[in-house]
Amino acid sequence: MIVKQSNGFIARMVRWNLHIVFLLTFIVLFIPGYGQRSFVVNVGSTNRSYTAVHLNSNDQTKNLPLVVLAFNLNGNILPQNTTLTKAGVIVAATSQLQITAGCSNPTSLYNDMAFVETIIEDSYENFKIDRNKVYIVGDVSSACLIDSIIHRKGTAVNTVRMTVRETIEQVIARTVSLTQVTSNSPQYEVWKYPLYDPILAQRHYEDSIKRNRWEGRTSVEFRMGRFDMLGLVKTGSDKTYMDVSDSHVMMDLHINHYISDSIS
């Protein structure tokens, strides 16, 4: 008896473990993750890479703010902590910027500026960002790059300077707080689903009567009907069965006149 109980316990444990393995496999295969991802873009016939991560958002979230870290990260690791901000945001980081002190190399400066602009354009295609809320963050090393972007793009982009005492997490949180301010005069229209038609969407949820004027209309209809009785029916007095089965073909004439739309 002890051996049988042990075998039954082992069998239940094996089935339970198989269920856990199946559940973990389902989670890994079918539940998408939104960690750090790398992208390769072509800048001046040269392939350059950048990394991006969603904070409190996913690929289905549209018109998110974009924060571009325009300085070389150590290890190219972006923060994964979603508690930095409660709002959804996309953080992108450049890779291997050709930063030179005091903009001493105009070619490198031009390539870095083109790289940052390409990241913004590529992010718009991949994530449908809100171009009115694009923030470029620079540190001390990239101050010249930030100044050049301001001179070239003007108010089309926003720039944030990272202080010496700030960490990457702190400057991201500070930048995201700035994205909560809505611009009174946006320069770009927010992304919209190109196949979405508001008129068709409204009609989809509306009753057909609301889309037409019915006041004063008159409708005439001929309707065919059928009347059948049961073959066996008990009488009410002596409870005997009577064969009253019969069928009648009927034709109705319906005339409707709509006085107003409200009662149609």
pLDDT for 68 equals 92
Residue that is written with structure tokens 């992304």 in the block: 191
Compute CA distances 92 → 37, 167, 219, whole Å: 9, 16, 64
| C-alpha to C-alpha distance for 98 and 109, rounded to whole angstroms | 7
pLDDT at 205: 65
- The structure tokens listed for 7 are 């075998």
Mean pLDDT for back-to-back runs of 10 residues, the chain (264 residues): 51 54 40 64 84 82 89 68 73 82 81 89 87 88 85 81 87 86 73 80 66 78 74 69 66 84 66
pTM above 0.75, yes or no: no
Bridge-based pairing state of the strands 241-242 and 233-234 = antiparallel
Q: How high is the pLDDT of residue 32?
A: 41
Place of tokens 């689903």: 193
φ and ψ at residue 227, rounded to 5 degrees: -120, 125
Torsion of CA 213, 215, 220, 226, to 10 degrees: 80
Q: Which residues contact 249 (CB under 8 A, 6 or more apart)?
A: 224, 225, 226
Cite the DSSP H helix spans in 36-77. Answer: none
What is the structure's pLDDT at 242?
65
User: 126 and 61 in contact (C-beta within 8 Å)?
Assistant: no
Closest CA to 116 of 187, 44, 54, 168: 44
- Using CA atoms, how far apart are residues 20 and 233, in angstroms rounded to an integer? 63
pLDDT at residue number 80: 64
* Separation between Cα atoms, residue 63 and residue 193, nearest integer Å: 11
Q: Which three-class secondary structure state does DSSP give residue 211?
A: helix
CA atoms within 13 A on the CB side of 214: 15
Which helix (H) or strand (E) covers residue 247, if one does? Answer: strand 247-257
Residue 116: closest CA among 147, 151, 145, 75: 145
CA dist 63 and 43 (Å) reads 25
Written as one letter, the residue type at 138 is G
Is residue 99 within 8 A of residue 138, CB to CB? The reply is no
* Half-sphere exposure at residue 87, Cβ-oriented, CA atoms within 13 angstroms: 20
Cβ atoms of 247 and 216 closer than 8 Å = no
